[in-house]
């Protein structure tokens, strides 16, 4: 009988059989267990998503700071905005 750590949760994922075979083959070619391969892919994707969300949050915060700064300086005219955007 296997002993599992209390902080590990088992997850079941249903795959089409052709994709399952493909994943199994890729893991074998890489020389890693399928479980390790899939977990690595999932964790990499999560990290990718989180870094993208983090960048979007930073961009939104920078935009908000810029708007606040404009308001504190008394705003900006439409003509000034056009000049800054090189539309005038």
The answer to the question of residue 71 being in a domain is yes
pLDDT value at 40 more than 60:
yes
The answer to the question of residue 8 being in a domain is no
**In this prediction, what percent of the chain has a pLDDT beyond 90?**
3
The answer to the question of residue 59 being in a domain is yes
The answer to the question of residue 62 being in a domain is yes
What are 42-53's pLDDT values in tens digits? 888 888 777 777
Query: What DSSP line would sit under the chain, residue for residue?
Result: -----TT---------HHHHHHHHHHHHHHTS-HHHHHHHHHHHHHHHHHHHHHHHHHHHHHHHHHHHHHHHTT---HHHHHHHTT--
Residue span of the structural domain in which 25 resides: 17-84
The answer to the question of residue 66 being in a domain is yes
The answer to the question of residue 55 being in a domain is yes
The answer to the question of residue 58 being in a domain is yes
The answer to the question of residue 6 being in a domain is no
How high is the pLDDT of residue 85?
Answer: 67
Domains held by the chain: number: 1
């Amino acid at each position: 009988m296997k002993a599992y750590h209390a902080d590990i949760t088992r997850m079941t994922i249903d795959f089409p059989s052709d994709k399952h075979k493909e994943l199994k083959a890729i893991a074998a070619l890489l020389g890693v267990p399928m479980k390790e391969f899939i977990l690595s892919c999932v964790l990499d994707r999560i990290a990718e998503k989180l870094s993208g969300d983090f960048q979007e949050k930073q961009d939104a915060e920078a935009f908000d700071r810029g708007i606040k700064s404009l308001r504190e300086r008394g705003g900006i005219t439409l003509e000034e905005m056009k000049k800054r955007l090189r539309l005038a």
